[in-house]
Chain A
Amino acid sequence: MWETLFRDFSFLPEQASEHAGQVDLLYFFCVALTAVFTVLIPAVMVFVAIKFKRKSDDEVPKPVHGSLPLEIAWSVIPFVVTMVLFGWGAVLFFNYSSPPPNSLDVHVVGKQWMWKIQHPEGKREINQLHVPVNQPIRLIITSEDVLHSFYLPVFRIKRDAVPGRYQTMWFEATKTGEFHLFCAEYCGTEHSLMIGSVIVMSPEEYDQWLQTDDQDGSETPVAAGERLFSELRCNSCHNGAGGNGPSLDSLYRTRVAFTDGTNAIADESYIRESIVDPRRHTVAGFGPMMPTFQGQVSEEQVFELISYIKTLGVE
């Protein structure tokens, strides 16, 4: 029994991305720092307890009320060390939240208690995330119900799935294999069963995997979005030909001005908001005509609409 228990003994999870290695480096630094003080401070205490042991109840040690140089030293040194940690941690954080432009967008929806994933090629899966190695993947994460958190320990990343919001993170796997996927934010009864795996494959295997048939068919999100766009009659206003709604051509990542004088960048979150709560911001030059589609489209369908809208007017 003990053999099986100890077989898995280790101190680090596998590193399957460059970022993971960098996080581990900071971790080692912190561990070293902790180890030094965790040895040093008790050592001093033990030394003091022996060296200055009370010999008689009458002894009166000489009082020392302070020492400015010492106090400055043990204020400034921790300050400097923690500022290093702050900077180091911040750099890693910004790396984790800034995907490279050539990333592949994969959509993730959490719901009690499963992860629903859709690839840009249209393939859908549940509780599994197949990705090609050496390809940056950007995950766009949301939730249908409560808070969840999409956690991939081998890449040292996680991000909360928040209903009503899009959150992103990215990774680039450097190692093929099958690794853990966990839900890290407590989400109700079967929280600990909301797990799965990320499967990193060679590009060839990945292509092959994309070809395999499954029950969901393989309509791409863009195609599905295009179908929805006409089914929901979005194009009766958003037709780019003087309709009641603004043209959506080349909308993605441009700046949109509103009637109240404010503006915003048309990212995924903005497009999502425009579908589910269109009256929150009205585009300058138009009236607040659009009805809400909240409740009429699922989170996946919103993703599909966005995927399609992102392609409009783009060659």
Chain B
Amino acid sequence: MSTDHHSLVAHQFDDAEQQQEAATLGMWAFLITEILFFGGLILAYTIFRNKYPGAFQAGSHELNVALGGANTAILIFSSFTMAMAVHYAQLGKQKLVFWFMVGTLAFGSAFLGVKVYEYNDKIVHHHVPGPNFEYHGEFANEVNPRNVELFFFLYFAMTGVHAVHMIVGAGVLIWLMFKVRAGAFSQAYYAPVEMFGLYWHFVDIVWIFLYPLLYLIGRHT
């Protein structure tokens, strides 16, 4: 049976089309589970934001909007380069695929670099939840510091889980780059690149939600 098939079609599939459809549907289903995973965090954030609006605004005020904004831009660029990589994969232009992947990896790393800088800033200012947490910001007289701490807990949980997704993505990207170099893909078979593209865009979109939630909403001016 398998001798009739192109070797790139796994034995359980009848043809490349069925394989491609299954992979795409599978990736979308996986992304739905991811939405629910982040959904739990966003639910918790919404509940506590509603419960402690003042403290959440005070916490939000401590975040660096410019850096968050820069990171948003960086991720949008990385989404663009990834989309281009998928585009050239469809056309079978492996060199361009590779270089756009390099771009994506560079932007992704830049994002993580900025994130590390921001985290460091929080550590320096004792904004990491725990026994050393302190809040002496502008609204220190109006809010309960424990509730600001809760904001920072959610900040670290949400951006941390997002960053883990970025790091995993970067790892997969590097692996794909080796595969591209090794000539594993062709115009007929580039599903892994396309699937990874979906994942990468998803991770970007999560940030597009996190940025306004954490940095922008109800900010004191």
Contact = CB atoms under 8 A, between A and B. Distances in A.
> Does chain A bind chain B?
yes
Interface of A: 260, 277, 279-280, 282, 288-289, 292
B53 A260 contact: yes
Q: Which 10 pairs of residues, A with B, have the shortest CB-CB distance?
A: A288-B142, A279-B144, A279-B143, A277-B144, A279-B142, A292-B144, A288-B141, A280-B52, A279-B54, A280-B144
Contacts of B55: 279
A260 to B, nearest CB: 7
A287 to B, nearest CB: 8
Nearest to B143: A279
Interface of B: 51-55, 141-144, 147
14 contacts: A260-B53, A260-B54, A277-B144, A277-B147, A279-B54, A279-B55, A279-B143, A280-B51, A280-B54, A282-B142, A288-B142, A288-B143, A289-B141, A292-B144
Contacts of A289: 141
A264 to B, nearest CB: 13
Chain B CB within 10 Å, residue with most, of A277, A279, A288: A279
Contacts of A279: 54-55, 142-144
Interface of A (DSSP majority class)? loop
Contacts, number: 20
Nearest to A279: B144
Contacts of A277: 144, 147
Contacts of B147: 277, 280
Given A288-B142, A288-B143, 7 more contacts: A260-B53, A277-B147, A279-B54, A279-B142, A279-B143, A288-B141, A292-B144
A282 B55 CA distance: 13
Chain A CB within 10 Å, residue with most, of B51, B53, B141, B144: B144
B146 to A, nearest CB: 8
A277 B143 CA distance: 9
A10 to B, nearest CB: 45
Nearest to A289: B141
A291 to B, nearest CB: 10
Nearest to A262: B53
